[in-house]
Structure 1
Amino acid sequence: MVTAPSAGPPAALYPCVIIHRRRAPQRYALRHRTYLWLVDLDHLPELPRPLGLLAHFSARDHFTGRAPSIRAALDGFLDQHGIDPRGCRVLMLAHARILGHVFNPLTLYWCYAPDGTVRCVVAEVHNTYGGRHAYLLHSDATGTASVAKDFYVSPFHPIDGHYEMRVPPPGELLHLSIRLHRPGSPPFTAAVRGTRRAATVPELLRLSLRHPWSTLAVSAAIRFHGIRLFLRGLPVQPRPGRRTPESLS
């Protein structure tokens, strides 16, 4: 069993499929299968040796990369945005570091108030150029929030428009979606669909064998499809100055 301290809830695994669809200026769709972890930031799972190579969570992989823990980094972000994180329980959905490598295009943090309601959601985005940015979301009863786009992610989209993110807390099923709305263009959509599994050693081994080095596969797939779109003639948008972790907002 993948264990957590007795005070915390058990972690979960979500085998899932990630779907991207664009309709202009060219129609293109991709599907990628992987798996994600759902963990309590105050009670990160502990794996028996040597299975720690298959899942490790490090503060250097999130926000500025300099905080002593992921929870401390998130609390600092919330403080900067006028939200008191004390008493909040936080669930994080993300890839773990596998065999020394991790890439999280999107990490989600659900911040729960002491009464169990979702106080806010933080969406942390990484691009393949080493940049990081975090968005603070105040979602409605359906888990939907809108936020202006403020970060260069794809070389085929400039920094304009806004995101409509549907990020309800994960249950037995994981249903997430993001729609990028830009002036004069049909929306670009991305979705994640998954089913909850208990985070046991057999389940982790099964998923690791089915999706070996899954985080490297994710970053490789993004580059592969980017090259295909470029060769199809999709115009590349200029990349602004590099956004460093220090510029997170």
Structure 2
Amino acid sequence: MSPSIRPPRVPSLVEGVVSHTRRTPVTHRFRHRHHQWLVDLDDLPRLPWPLSVLARFDPADHLDGGHEEGGIRGDLDRFLASRGVALPAGARVLMLAHARSVGHVFDPLSVFWCIAPDGRLVATVLEVHNTYGGRHAYLVDVDDHGRAVVDKAFYVSPFNDVSGEYHVRLVLDEQRVAVAIRLTRDGQPILDASVSGRPRPATLRTILSTTARHALMTYRVTALIRWHGVRLWMRRLPVVPRPHRLEEAAR
């Protein structure tokens, strides 16, 4: 039986922390303040000018890039259909992601929860982006505790190849939204990454106060990823050459 969930009110801003621990062959940890949006794909926020500069959701930033009709929701429906999943009539799709802000967005991980009208979780999709312009979507089979395991199939970090498994733990309720992922290889943990925060309704006051606390959030995400990469490179962590094909889409 599919798990049942009670999501928070949307749109919401999920404010909390992002953390990362690399366990081998060197140990490297970080923890930063962070926020993302939780939105309904059928009712995306459309802020008036000039607030629209602070948050915009563009189909080009996700999945198949909006090349066909239906925006992000259309791309997701086609992705699921190609894998034998048909959402029931009236199903909602909630997306946890960064908004495009001040002309820039980078989403290391976006999560899509597909929820039936009776609250059952029908499907869950994880979309991973790398800093080379590529992205890949994983359809994951989540159990009653929000856990799933999926084979890694996409080059993300220059310090890891595409081998291993992702062990995923997801939380979506009225008090907390969280995603935790552990990469393992041959049963050994390689790294842990997580985002966690409390959802708050995206009122005008919340948007302005959160933006003030996390100025240029998407630029900071990009800069911090590169900064931590440089630190690992300086510690002589071996670099794994990336594949020639960089761009993937959810087709």
Match of 2:134 in 1: 131
CA distance in 2, matches of 1:183, 1:10: 40
2:87–2:122 CA contact under 8 A, matched in 1 = no
Q: TM-score, with normalisation over the residues of structure 1?
A: 0.92
CA RMSD of aligned residues (A): 1.4
Q: How many residues align?
A: 240
Determine if the alignment matches structure 1 residue 226 to structure 2 residue 229. yes
Task: Choose which of 143, 151, 154 in structure 1 pairs with 2:146.
Answer: 143
CA distance in 2, matches of 1:157, 1:170: 32
CA distance in 1, matches of 2:53, 2:88: 32
2:132–2:246 CA contact under 8 A, matched in 1 = no
Flag the structure with more relative contact order, 1 or 2, with Cα contacts below 8 A and sequence separation at least 6: 2
Match of 1:80 in 2: 82
2:16–2:195 CA contact under 8 A, matched in 1 = yes
CA distance in 2, matches of 1:75, 1:186: 33
Q: What are the Cα deviations for residues 159-203 of structure 1, in whole angstroms up to 9, with x where unaligned?
A: 101000111324311232000001274331011121111101111
The letter of the residue matching 1:67 is E
Task: Choose which of 121, 124, 135 in structure 1 pairs with 2:124.
Answer: 121
- SS of corresponding position for 2:75: helix
CA distance in 2, matches of 1:240, 1:170: 38
Match of 1:89 in 2: 92
Task: Choose which of 167, 175, 178 in structure 2 pairs with 1:175.
Answer: 178
- SS of corresponding position for 2:220: helix
1:162–1:180 CA contact under 8 A, matched in 2 = yes
- Unaligned 5+ residue runs, structure 2? 1-8
Match of 1:24 in 2: 24
2:93–2:113 CA contact under 8 A, matched in 1 = yes
CA distance in 2, matches of 1:197, 1:83: 31
- SS of corresponding position for 1:159: coil
- SS of corresponding position for 2:228: helix
CA distance in 2, matches of 1:111, 1:173: 18
Match of 2:198 in 1: 195
Determine if the alignment matches structure 1 residue 15 to structure 2 residue 15. yes
CA distance in 1, matches of 2:215, 2:33: 11
The letter of the residue matching 2:38 is L
The letter of the residue matching 2:27 is R
- SS of corresponding position for 2:171: coil
CA distance in 2, matches of 1:239, 1:89: 36
Deviates more, 1:176-185 or 1:92-101: 176-185
Q: What are the Cα deviations for residues 1-38 of structure 1, in whole angstroms up to 9, with x where unaligned?
A: xxxxxxxx641111121000011111110112121100
Identical aligned residues as a percent: 48
1:59–1:70 CA contact under 8 A, matched in 2 = yes
Deviates more, 1:226-235 or 1:30-39: 30-39
Question: Equivalences for 1:97-116 in 2 at 5 Å?
Answer: 97-116=100-119
- SS of corresponding position for 1:204: helix
Q: What are the Cα deviations for residues 80-139 of structure 1, in whole angstroms up to 9, with x where unaligned?
A: 111113422100000000011110000000001232100110000100000010000110
Deviation at 1:45, TM superposition (A): 1.4
Match of 1:206 in 2: 209
- Unaligned 5+ residue runs, structure 1? 1-8
CA distance in 1, matches of 2:219, 2:78: 29
1:60–1:67 CA contact under 8 A, matched in 2 = no
